[in-house]
Structure 1
Amino acid sequence: MSSIVNNQNIIWTGENPYIRLFDRESGRVVTSISLFRIVYSAQYGNGHALFLLSDLDANGFSPKDDYCFCLTDNLVLANWLKEEVVIGYTGFRDMPDECSAMPIIQTKNFCSTGDPTHSWTETVKAEGIEIALTWNSLETPFYAEIPSAEWPNTVCTVLQASRNVDVLIKARVLRVIFRMKTFMGNRLHLAV
C-alpha cells in the first residue's frame, strides 16, 4: 500500500457536523445548522462556531419569527468562516442577504457528549439561547475528497451519516422525517 503525502497548504482542520432540514412539499432547505470545531488554523486560531439559519415554518424567512445567528468562542474565526466558507454551503447560499446580515454572538458554552459509534450530541448555550443537536443511529464513516468548483480548495473529509437527528432550538423541537439520497457512492438519509 502506498502512502499519500500532500504538501498543499492546510487552511483549517477539525470537525464540521451539520444538519439540513428540507421542506417536505418544495424540497428546499428550510433549516441549515453547521457547527465548526476548529483544532488548527494558523491564520484564524482554534475554536467553535455554530451557524444557524432557519425558516422554521417554511413560509418565507422573517427575522421576527425565524432564527439567523452564529454562536462562537472566537470572533475572528467566526467572521472568516461566515464570509469565506459558510456562505457557500447549501441552505446558507440560498439566503445570501440573511446570511451576510447574520449576527455573531460570543459564548464559551460548547459541550459534546455521546459515543460517535452510536449517538452524539452537541449543545451550545448563550444568553437566552440553547441549542441541542443529536445525531442518532450513526452509520459507518467514509472518507471523501471533494474538489470545489466554488473556491480554490479541496475538502478532504471523513463523513458519518445519521439515520435519526433531534434538533432543539430555544425549547422548540423541530420535527424531522428522512428520505434517501446517494452521495459519493453512499446511500445517505436526508432530513425533511
Structure 2
Amino acid sequence: MADVVRPGKVDWTGDNPFIYLKTDPAGDWSALSLFFRVTASDFGPGSLVLTIEDPYDKRAEGADAPAPVRLALTDNEPLAHFLIDGFVRRFVLFRPATAALDALELVGGAAFTTQGDGATMHTESARAEERGLSLAMTWEDLDTPFAVDVPGPQSGTGQHEMFSVFRTAGAAHVTVNDAVLPGSTVERDFLNGPAQSAALALSETWVRDGGAEVAQA
C-alpha cells in the first residue's frame, strides 16, 4: 500500500473563514476580517475573530472621522498570538497591514456562538461581556463546497501545505458592537474561478514544510 501519511508538522487544524470588504470597488480593501476555530494545535483548541478597518492606513491626516476598528476577540490568548504572528501577518492581503496589526486590540475571555442553516446564512459571533464588545461575521448564499490542496510555495504563509474545503459566499458582512461595517464584498479571482471576497474555509489544516519555522506565542 502506498504511503498515505503526509510528512511535516501539523501546526493547526480547524476552520478559517474570511470576509474582505471594499467601500470603493476600484479602491483598496476597507476592512479585512478573519475567523479561526482551531481544534488542535500546540496551544490547544480555541477561537479567534479579528477585523481591521482601513488596513493600509489610507485615511487623510487630520480627517474628522472615528478611529478605524482594529479588534480581536479570543478565548485562548496564547493561541491567538500564535495565529496572528505566525499566520495572519504572512497572509498576502495582511502583509502591508503591519501598522494596523500592531494596533490590534486583543481581548480575551470571549464566548463564541455559531448560527445559520448552512445554506442561505452562516454567522460566527464572539462577545466579551466584561468589556461590552462583540464581533460577528455573516456569510450569505453559500455555494457548493470544493476541496483544495495548496502546496507550500503557493499557500498563505509560503511555508505550509494547506488543505481545506471552501464554500464561497454570494455576499457577507461584519458587525462590530451591533454596527455593520461599511463596504461590500467584491468579485475577484479565487482558487476555482471568479468569486466574491468571502468564503467559509472548513476543515483547514496547515502542515509545515520541513525546516520551516513559525512564530511562537
TM-score normalised by length of structure 2:
0.76
Which aligned pairs between 1:96-175 and structure 2 lie closer than 5 A? 96-126=98-128, 127-149=131-153, 150-175=157-182
Q: Is the 8 A contact 1:93 1:99 kept in 2?
A: no
Aligned length: 188
C-alpha distance 71-102 of structure 1, shift in aligned 2 (>3 A): same
1:1-192 matched pairs, under 5 angstroms: 4-24=4-24, 26-41=26-41, 43-55=42-54, 59-60=58-59, 65-126=67-128, 127-149=131-153, 150-190=157-197
CA RMSD of aligned residues (A): 2.6
Q: Distance in 2 between the 1:70 and 1:175 partners? A: 18
Per-residue CA distance 1:51-108 (angstroms, 9 max, x = gap) = 211129x852999511112211101100111111011124432210221332321023
Q: How far apart in 2 are the matches of 1:178 and 1:123?
A: 19
- Can you give the 5+ residue segments of structure 1 that lack an aligned partner in the other structure? none
Kindly provide the CA deviation profile for residues 29-63 of structure 1, in whole angstroms up to 9, marking residues without a partner as x: 1201111000011x11110011211129x852999
Aligned-pair CA distance for 1:178: 4.3
Q: C-alpha distance in 2, partners of 1:131/1:79?
A: 18
What is the distance in 1 between the residues matched to 2:25 and 2:194? 22
8 A Cα contact 2:19 2:33, kept in partner: yes
Cα 1:22–1:3 shift into 2, 3 Å: farther
Cα offset for 1:182?
Answer: 2.8
Question: Residues 116-144 of structure 1, C-alpha deviation per residue, up to 9 Å, x if partnerless?
Answer: 23311111112222222211100011111
Shift of residue 115, structure 1, vs aligned partner: 2.1
Q: Is the 8 Å Cα contact of residues 16 and 34 (structure 2) preserved in structure 1? A: yes
Secondary structure at the aligned position of 2:79 is classed as helix
Between the aligned residues of both structures, percent identity stands at 25
Equivalent residue letter for 2:111: N
The structure showing larger relative contact order (alpha-carbon pairs under 8 Å, at least 6 residues apart) is 2
1:100 partner letter: D
Question: Are the aligned partners of 1:20 and 1:91 in contact in 2 as well (CA < 8 Å)?
Answer: no
How far apart in 2 are the matches of 1:137 and 1:16?
Answer: 18
